[in-house]
Chains A and B, each alone.
Chain A
Amino acid sequence: MQPFEYRRAPTLDAALAEARAAATAYIAGGTNLVDYMTLGVLRPQTLVDINHLPQSYAQIDASETRLRLGALVRMSQAEEHPLIRERYPLIRDTLLLAASRQIRNMASLGGNLLQQTRCEYFRGRGFACNRREPGSGCAALEGVNRPHAVLGTSESCIATYPGDFAQALIALDATVEIAGGRGAPRRVPFASLHRLPGDTPHIQHSLAPGELITYIDVPAGPWTRRSRYVKVRDRESYEFALASAAVALQLEGEMVREARVALGGVATVPWRAREAEEVLRGAVLDESLAQRAAAAAFAAAAPRGHNAFKIPLGRETLVRALLEARSMSA
């Protein structure tokens, strides 16, 4: 690990001021950042510790119509919140099924959204990686790419976005509040936070240098109670998804009035499957409809050797999530 400077910011303004310097990174839980710093993959010269910002950034504000989460709320704190459990089962599932409890006790929600891919070739050790070293190539394209993405890929990068929580947010049309620009904080739809790799996979999100996510807002909809996350992996716990599906449904009898679908473990960024939603909307939800929606979701999928199974697996995962959401009492 290269030497770095550590600064503790007591206020948001102080944090933003510190972060104007070059090669600065914010640190909250540090569960992802420190790992990659010890590997030499991330090499910030200054760490700005935001754990001591005012309490408001670590609070959950829940009401009938909305859910506002401070970016410094810990994953375990959110998964235990009674209102999230009751009204946003999807959010709770994505948190509960992520990492381990020890990590969730440390990891902040804001940091979770911007976590790095766990692509083995990104971890360094001399492998080519356009995300780590722009222009060096992508060793995963012809390499061991079982965990890699089949959606949103490019010739430069097929690294999977590893998070679960993000799938709930993109499905539920969340917005994030970002501080650090000129003037008042800006609000952007969560769906526009991450960037497809294209030919610039090293640019992963739309934050400007020094900007900081401060809040996450999730609107309540008639579909949030009937929402479900299915995560499929080799191991029962403490592992990233091979495929996952986040589903929120508003049903009228057996008919789908509204559907929200997101996919994890299979795409390079948090992935909203709008093609699947369109198939579902206005139709009777049964096995065959679920299969058609799943086929639509993966119509554009591009396999690469070892990960071809993710297409049938991803489809089955979505079908399972849809049918399980249908049978929820909401």
Chain B
Amino acid sequence: MNPATPAPRENQGAPLERVDARLKVTGEARYAADIAVANLAYGVLVTSTVARGAVSELSLEAARATPGVLDIVSYDDVRELRKPTFGMGSYTSLGPLHERRIFHDGQIMALVVAETYQAAEEAAASVTARYAQEPASAELDSPGTEELDAAGKVAMLKKDPASGDFEQAYQAAPVRIDAEYRTPTQTHNPIELFSTTAVWSDGQLTVYEPTQSVYGFRSEIAKQLNLDLAQVRVVSPYVGGSFGSKGPLTPRTAIVALAARRLGRPVRCVVSRAQGFTTQPYRAPTRHHIRLGATRDGTISAFSHEAWELTSRLDNYAVAGTKTTTRLYGYGAVASKVRIVRADRQTPAFMRSPPELPYVFPLETALDELAYALGMDPLDLRLKNDSQREPIEGKPFSSRHLKECYEEGAAAFRWRERNPRPASMREGDWLIGFGCATAVYPTNVAAAAARVRLAADGTVRVQSASHEIGTGIRTVAGQMAAERLGVPLAAVSVEMGDTNLPPAPTSGGSNSTASVCSAVLKACDQVRARLFQAASAAKSGPLAGRDVSRMTLRDGTVLAGDGASQPLQQVLGASGAGAIEEYAEFVPSGAPVDAMQKLYRGQTTMVRSEERPAVSFAFGAEFVEVRIHARTREIRVPRLLGAFAAGRIMNTRTARSQLMGGMIFGMSSALLESTELDPRSARIVNADLQDYLVPVNADTGTVEVIMLSETDTSVNPAGVKGLGELGDVGTNAALANAVFHATGKRLRNLPIRLEDLLGGDSAA
């Protein structure tokens, strides 16, 4: 059996090939910056070389004199632009050209536009700046930063979750863990570079740009350029990875659109890899203080999670993952507190998986520490504290199969064959360690619209302005339509990524499959109803007069309750209709009544897990094997295994691919990725893929994905929990725990590097 096409279990869809697989491997898929536009001019950004201060002089003469240069947009040129407002639509309130103040390294100072990319780049490189430079405080511990409580100040956290008297329970606990953990700044670095192409025609603006939210971008662009929504179209047919970085609009887009309007010519700006590090958002570094108390039998009686997240001077941003960590197990008393640290950096933003990846790491590492303190198998400790109710409000989980994930995962990994003693397993020169941790991600769902057309020739067209960011959403949306309308997937075409289509939510927070498929499902059911009505209402024919409520649709044929049947093309033919087209809006329960109107205005209103009567999360158990060279201490990862329960799986092939990619992403986050700041200048040093490392194929051994069967229709009509953000959660902790098992050395700061293991303990 091909491991890429796992056999579907109950409530899992067929491992069909991606509808765009061939386009992608042959390079035929068109990304935003590939779209041919006549008479293009090219823009290149000029960015600051200081992290804080004021621009006292920007010398543009040499740039203007460079052959081919058409225009330069800089300070004093943006009066027509409104400054962005910080929120879900725009990641920052910084209008970089609205004032000559520098808030972060690599801030936009100008856009040079020329006949060719090369000329624009040459001219941009000739720009020199003089600054009134000020010392910058850019790290969590830097003097000169400002710390404040996050609750009530950041959108993601109204109140710090708590339950019972933590201090008392903690002091009373016979076994206690008290430790600090850190995660680094990380940069999304999708392979597709960031870009904007702005085209004006009769006062109408079309923007081609990779995005996770065409409607969100449209509304932000309209706001910043003082346009009506109807004047702006955003097109983003394929996206070459985003991981959160293409969710909110960044200030570049309006500047490029302004340049195109001034010039009366389309402008395309493709941002260099280095400038992508400083003009797009990033994952903030975090620090955590964890305290756990337990009885000697391993029952956790107290849990406290304090966290610090870095943000900019301008905007209060935090991901605040305590909402998940405080609900993950059946702890006794719980306390939590999130603080933000305002520093001379850009505003951070979502990065896969925004709250859970950095917040679950300290909890799941501390649990491993607790297991060793108790002399217990780390897996058993988790099962011991597994619970069907969350401890903050005492709500039930809509479904929770964490125990089953651990059991099936452990069996496949052969976890129980490990020698639990640290530094006890070895093969030749390589020390071996096993670690495990829990993966968890809340089930989010949002309002979405879709239009579905069934043509007389049996072909189907699905339209919804969702985004193919590599997840396979085109395929699963098509699959949903194929299944409901009884046609093969090959007969379905799916159109996405364009504000001319019905709106869909931001592709983030693992909501897309649930939200979009629910809308597609609803539209398909409307099409079916009309089709059945036509079959029954026909004057003659095999289905004339039959009961529509007992009709079904299978393999291109409408079937009546008594077994009579008629091919759907005949049904349509007899009715005289050219096609049946239906538009449907799906609004999840718990969503505000105006959720759909907000969506048309670019605002996704996510119904979040903890807002429901039963909280819902997808769960998983992850297992990691590390091998560490006894002498030189390179850390290699021959095996990653995850067992997941995430509700309905639409397509086991695309789901496996996402979960596998997630685990590799998690491994990368734990071992390799770190955006490094120069300590004196507070500027990013490794703004390239030479020293910002991500794994290559040779770093990726066996990655095994197990998808448990789980049915939970309470979450949404499609029964989908979402899994794009699930696979990378917990991998970092499982890996750190495996390193401890291999070496006896507990590492609490990411990324883990070989120098952390040099010298001492159990070397050769």
Binding site for B on A (CB under 8 A): 1-3, 40, 118, 120-121, 123, 125-127, 139, 142-144, 147, 230, 232-239, 242-243, 309, 312-313, 316-317, 319-320
Contacts and interface: CB of A to CB of B under 8 A. Distances in A.
Interface string B74-89: 0000000000000000
Contacts, number: 95
Contacts of B629: 232, 320
A13 to B, nearest CB: 32
Contacts of B121: 1
B679 A142 contact: yes
B680 A234 contact: no
B679 A233 contact: no
Given A126-B49, A313-B632, A313-B755, 19 more contacts: A1-B122, A2-B125, A118-B691, A120-B685, A120-B690, A120-B691, A139-B680, A139-B681, A144-B679, A230-B632, A232-B632, A233-B634, A234-B634, A234-B754, A235-B696, A236-B696, A236-B698, A309-B758, A320-B629
Nearest to B697: A237
B693 A234 contact: yes
Contacts of A125: 49, 274, 683, 687
A296 to B, nearest CB: 18
B753 interface: yes
A312 B690 contact: no
Contacts of B429: 320
A143 B758 contact: no
B632 A143 contact: no
B678 A127 contact: yes
A233 B49 CA distance: 30
Interface residues of B, number: 39
Nearest to A123: B688
Nearest to B671: A234
Contact of A236 (B677, B678, B699): B699
B632 A317 contact: yes
Determine chain A's interface SS by DSSP, over half rule.
loop
Interface string B621-640: 00000000101111010000
B118 interface: yes
Contacts of B118: 1, 3
A232 B691 contact: no
A235 B699 contact: yes
Interface of B: 49, 118, 121-122, 125, 274, 429, 629, 631-634, 636, 671-672, 676-681, 683, 685-688, 690-691, 693, 695-699, 753-755, 758-759
A104 B681 CA distance: 36
Contacts of B698: 235-238
A142 B681 CA distance: 11
A126 B274 CA distance: 12
Contacts of A123: 688
Most chain B CB within 10 A, of A237, A309, A317, is at A309
A320 B698 CA distance: 21
Nearest to A310: B755
A320 B695 contact: no
29 contacts: A1-B122, A3-B118, A118-B690, A120-B686, A120-B688, A125-B274, A127-B678, A142-B680, A143-B679, A143-B680, A143-B685, A144-B685, A144-B686, A230-B632, A232-B634, A235-B672, A235-B695, A236-B696, A237-B696, A237-B697, A239-B693, A243-B632, A312-B759, A313-B632, A313-B758, A316-B632, A316-B633, A320-B429, A320-B631
A234 B631 contact: no
A309 B698 CA distance: 25
A292 B693 CA distance: 34
Nearest to A308: B755
Contacts of B680: 139, 142-143
Nearest to B692: A120
B678 A309 contact: no
Best-surrounded residue of B429, B696, B697 (most CB of chain A within 10 A): B696
Contact of B699 (A2, A142, A237, A316): A237
Given A313-B633, A316-B632, A234 B685 contact: no
Contacts of A237: 696-699
Contacts of A127: 678, 681, 683, 685
